[in-house]
Structure 1
Amino acid sequence: MPAAVRLRSVVIDCPDPHALARFYADVAGGTPQAEDDDWVVLTVPGGSRLSFQRAPGLTPPEWPRADRNAQQFHLDFDAGSTWEEMDAAHERVLALGARPLDLEDSEKKDFRVYADPAGHPFCLCRIEHA
């Protein structure tokens, strides 16, 4: 059955859409395009589109708690297939302002969890490339 619609973008609420769009542009590539003070669009190389919408007073989720302000979604990023690539991506996102949320046993899990500057969880994943 053909799809009824196509996904246009993932929209992330945040206090400062310009700052968060710049953070993700530095993480994943692309150039943020501001439509106005409250809406910024980032088209990531490969065609993915992230949009950032001003949400004053946003309370970020408390990862991994599900009982209070639960996470509604998170983004996964391919950080490469080697531990060296994963470590380099880790250092880069920390330098850009990410905060580690879960690095425990990352060698066993092949992913590491961070919060972006607005507090949204995202993961760097070590992906075995064919």
Structure 2
Amino acid sequence: MAIATYALVALDCPDPPALAEFYAGVLGGEVKRYSDDWYDLYAPGGHRVSFQRAPDHRPPDWPSADGDSQQLHLDFDVPDLDEAEAQVLALGATPLDLDDEGGRRGFRVYADPAGHPFCLCRQ
């Protein structure tokens, strides 16, 4: 029997409303403000991603030269990697690793505007 029920993923960031809007642009859904320091994105399919103000937020290093963990990353399945890439870049994503294997790998890595890594993955 389960001990808990999954509720959400919360991302620390310096600007919760801006990061919530970035992910709403990626995933769709509705952004709700609970306080100046906490915003939620209710994405299609019942998923919830939260954004918590962290004034001293330091984005993870990816890839890290010293082997430190990237902390967390999100994966998003997309039907067309090139089209999805153009859209997330227009929203403010930064490319981190665009697959130097000529497309064989099937995923590409970006950073959101607060520096959290995420992947677009071929469906």
User: Normalising TM by the smaller chain, what interval?
Assistant: over 0.9
> What per-residue deviation string (whole Å, max 9, x for no partner) do you get for residues 87-112 of structure 1?
11000000000000001226111000
For structure 2, which runs of at least 5 residues remain unmatched after alignment?
Answer: none
Please state whether the residue corresponding to 2:85 is helix, strand or coil: helix
Q: Which residue of 2 aligns with 1:22?
A: 21
Task: Spell out the pairing of 1:1-130 with structure 2 (5 A cutoff).
Answer: 2-65=1-64, 67=66, 70-80=69-79, 85-103=80-98, 104-105=100-101, 107-127=103-123
Contact 1:61/1:68 (CA < 8 Å) preserved in 2?
no
Contact 1:113/1:123 (CA < 8 Å) preserved in 2?
yes
Please state whether the residue corresponding to 2:44 is helix, strand or coil: coil
Give the root-mean-square deviation of aligned CA atoms: 1.4
Distance 1:34 1:105 in 2: 41
Distance 2:57 2:21 in 1: 19
Q: Which has the higher helix share?
A: 1
> What per-residue deviation string (whole Å, max 9, x for no partner) do you get for residues 56-113 of structure 1?
0211011011637631110000111xxxx21110000000000000012261110000
For structure 1, which runs of at least 5 residues remain unmatched after alignment?
Answer: none
Please state whether the residue corresponding to 2:104 is helix, strand or coil: helix
Percent identical across equivalent pairs? 58
Letter paired with 1:101: L
| TM-score of the two chains, using structure 1 as the length reference | 0.89
Q: Which has the higher strand share?
A: 2
Aligned residues, how many?
Answer: 122
Which stretch of the first structure deviates more once superposed, 89-98 or 67-76?
Answer: 67-76
